[in-house]
Copies of this chain bind each other. A is one copy, B any other.
Amino acid sequence: MKEYNIAIVGATGAVGTAMLEVLKEYDLPINKLKLIASPRSEGKKIQYNKDTYIVQKVEKGIFEDIDIALFSIGSSNSKKFIPQAVYEGALIIDNSNAYRMDKEVPLIVPEINPEKIKKHNGIIANPNCSTIQMVVAINSLQKAKKIKKIYVSTYQAVSGTGQKAINELKEQSRAYLNKEEVKTEVYPHQIAFNTVPMIDKVNDNGYTEEELKLNRETRKIFDDYEIMVTATAVRVPVFYGHSESVHLELKKPYDMEEIRYLLSSDPNIKLLDEPENNIYPTPLMSEEEDKILVGRLRKDLHSECGLEMWIVGNNIRKGAALNAVQIAEYIIKNNILNGG
């Protein structure tokens, strides 16, 4: 079997670390592995399987022997370094927002639109964490019933911001419980024992980038520009796992039994919906879970087309690292490194 040279760019970050874990679990046929990060991490040692890797920084020619490079270094760094990596011949899977809405770049959730992978021009984009878990959860409903409208309110974990935010929630919680002064650095307001209804920067229309991502990425992934998505994105004091309260309006009246059948037949989700027995998804349950968790199914009290659901996903794994590795796995299995 052919083996591949793979680079992880951003290997010391929260998502990069998870990418390494997932790579190990998925056992891709790797020949050479390069771990790349910012200059301040240069020289750090990282253990992977039985080998020790030295973290490198980006330099001219570093991607020349790389087949697939998984990037997770944020939008501005992606824009800075990805053109070089493409030029040097690597196929890029980028976790940032930099190229997601570029018409030349496929935006991929492998369970939904893998056929678009081969249309890459050197770059494939990984969607935003809150989008991935929502589209995986509603994919079978979109395929069978068509969705007209989505209202989604998120309850997002601090790990989506990164390791610094995880530390901030820990430190603030400790300080608050000990009645010490609570310091805020990462977020503009205290996140411990609070909710902060703003994620990413705000646009002129009042929506944040995070809210607009849920709109435009959902439409692009489903290749359905009639779906109307309006979102409210909120940070909550949770370490791992995003939750979403979702209202769907389907194009036609539906039968709840059919919805349950569609969801429980979908191998990519786990339906946990027995509230009378206290069974429903919570973010703590997602820590060891690669599937998307769905529960609290209810018919809109006033509309035959309306469906309420509660969706929980592991924002670091399926929301970022796992999705990127699944794209790499698809490329390898289908031998489409150079497009279809």
A-side residues, CB < 8 A to B, are: 149, 151, 153, 155, 169-170, 173-174, 177, 188-190, 193-198, 202, 205-208, 215, 228-230, 232, 234, 236-239, 243, 245, 247, 275-276, 278, 280-284, 295-303, 306, 308, 310
Contact = CB atoms under 8 A, between A and B. Distances in A.
Nearest to A149: B302
A199 to B, nearest CB: 11
Given A177-B173, A177-B174, A301-B230, A155 B243 contact: no
Contacts of A296: 197-198, 206, 232
Contacts of A245: 153, 197, 232, 234, 245
6 contacts: A189-B278, A190-B282, A197-B245, A228-B303, A232-B310, A247-B247
B205 A298 contact: yes
B238 A195 contact: yes
Contact of A284 (B189, B275, B295, B302): B189
Most B-side CB within 10 Å, residue of A190, A300, A302, A306: A302
Nearest to A273: B206
A193 B237 contact: yes
A188 to B, nearest CB: 4
Given A188-B278, A205-B298, A239-B193, A308 B230 contact: yes
Contact of A207 (B190, B282, B298): B298
Contacts of A281: 197
B280 A228 contact: no
A167 to B, nearest CB: 12
A237 B149 CA distance: 30
A148 to B, nearest CB: 10
A283 B198 contact: no
Contacts of A196: 282
A301 to B, nearest CB: 5
Given A281-B197, A282-B197, A237 B234 contact: no
A177 B176 CA distance: 12
A25 B121 CA distance: 68
Contacts of A295: 197
A265 B3 CA distance: 68
A170 to B, nearest CB: 6
B301 A207 contact: yes
A282 B155 contact: no
The 7 A-B residue pairs with the shortest CB-CB distance, nearest first, are A228-B302, A153-B245, A206-B298, A188-B278, A153-B153, A202-B275, A232-B245
Given A177-B170, A297-B206, A234 B275 contact: no
Contacts of A230: 247, 300-302, 306, 308
Given A155-B155, A197-B243, 19 more contacts: A149-B302, A151-B151, A151-B247, A173-B173, A189-B284, A193-B238, A194-B238, A195-B243, A195-B282, A195-B283, A198-B275, A206-B296, A206-B298, A206-B299, A207-B298, A215-B301, A228-B301, A232-B245, A232-B308
A243 to B, nearest CB: 5
A247 B308 CA distance: 14
Contacts of A243: 195, 197, 234
Contacts of A206: 275, 296-299
